[in-house]
Amino acid sequence: MDELQSLSIIKLGEPLLSAAENDGRHDAGRMSDASSNAPQSDIPTPASLQADLTHYKELFTKLRFSYVEQVTKERFLRAVVGDPPLYISASQNSALESQLLSVKATLKAQKTEVADLIADLERQGRALSQRYQDVQLQTIQLTEMPEQIAQLKSTIETLKAAQEPKSDNPLLALSLPQTMDVLSVKEDESTKLDIELAALQAKVQARARELEQLQNDLVPLQAQKGRALADAEDSKRRKAQGISGLGDELEERGRWLKGVETTLRGLLEAGA
C-alpha cells in the first residue's frame, strides 16, 4: 500500500514536466534571441507564424504521447498492486476493443472536421492579414494626404501669383467647370457654323455649275456677235458707198445680238 500511495500522476509526470520546462526555456531563449536581433517595429510574417505553429504542433504531439504513456503505466501499476488485483477477461477486452474502434472512428472524423476548420481559419487569417496590410497602407496614405493637399494649394497660389501679365479677359479667369461650360457652348456654335458652311458650299457648287452652263451658252453668242459686228462694219462700208437693202437687215440683227449679250451678262453677274 505504501508503494501504491507513493505512485501518483505528478511523480510519474515529473520527467515529462522537466522535459517540457527545458523545451519551454529553450523556445523562450530562441524567441528572445530572435526578438533581440529583430527590429522592435517588425510585425510577425505569415512564414514565421507558420513555423511557430509547426513547432508547437510537434511539441504538443510529444507531450500528448508522453502523457498517454505515463497514464497507461500508472493504471497498469494500480491494477497490479491493487488489493485485490484487477483482472480483465477476454470478453471484456473484446468489448473494449470494439469500443476503441468506435472511438477511433469518431476521433478520426473529429480530426478531419478540425483540419477543415483549421484550413478555413488559415484562409480567413490570410485574408484578414491582407486586409490589415491594405488598411495600414491606406491609413498611411490618408495621414500623408493633408500635407500633400496643403502643398498643392500652396503651389496653386504660387502659380496664380506668378501669372504675368494678368489678362483683362474674364474668360481666362474662369474655373475649370465654367471653362468646360463655355467650351461646350463654343463647340455647339462651331457645329452650327460648320453646317451652315456646308450648305453654302453646296449652293456655291450649284451656282458654279449654272455659271459654267451660261458660259457655255455665251460662247456661240459671242461668235454670232463677232459675225454681226463684221456684218455691221461691212454694212456701214456699203452704206457709205450708197449700197442699201442688206445693210439694214444686218444692222437690225446686230442690235438684237447686242441686246441678247447684255441680258446674258446681267444673268452672269447675278449668278456670281
Mean pLDDT, rounded, of the chain: 77
Question: CA–CA separation, 189 vs 52, rounded Å?
Answer: 73
Question: CA–CA separation, 29 vs 234, rounded Å?
Answer: 139
Residues in the chain, how many?
272
Confidence of residue 189 (pLDDT cuts 50, 70, 90): very high
Confidence of residue 149 (pLDDT cuts 50, 70, 90): very high
pLDDT at 255: 74
Question: CA–CA separation, 101 vs 95, rounded Å?
Answer: 10
Confidence of residue 212 (pLDDT cuts 50, 70, 90): confident
Question: CA–CA separation, 199 vs 255, rounded Å?
Answer: 41
Instruction: Please give the angle made by the CA atoms of 218, 221 and 227, to the nearest 5 degrees.
Output: 145
Look at residue 166 and tell me whether its pLDDT is greater than 70.
Answer: no
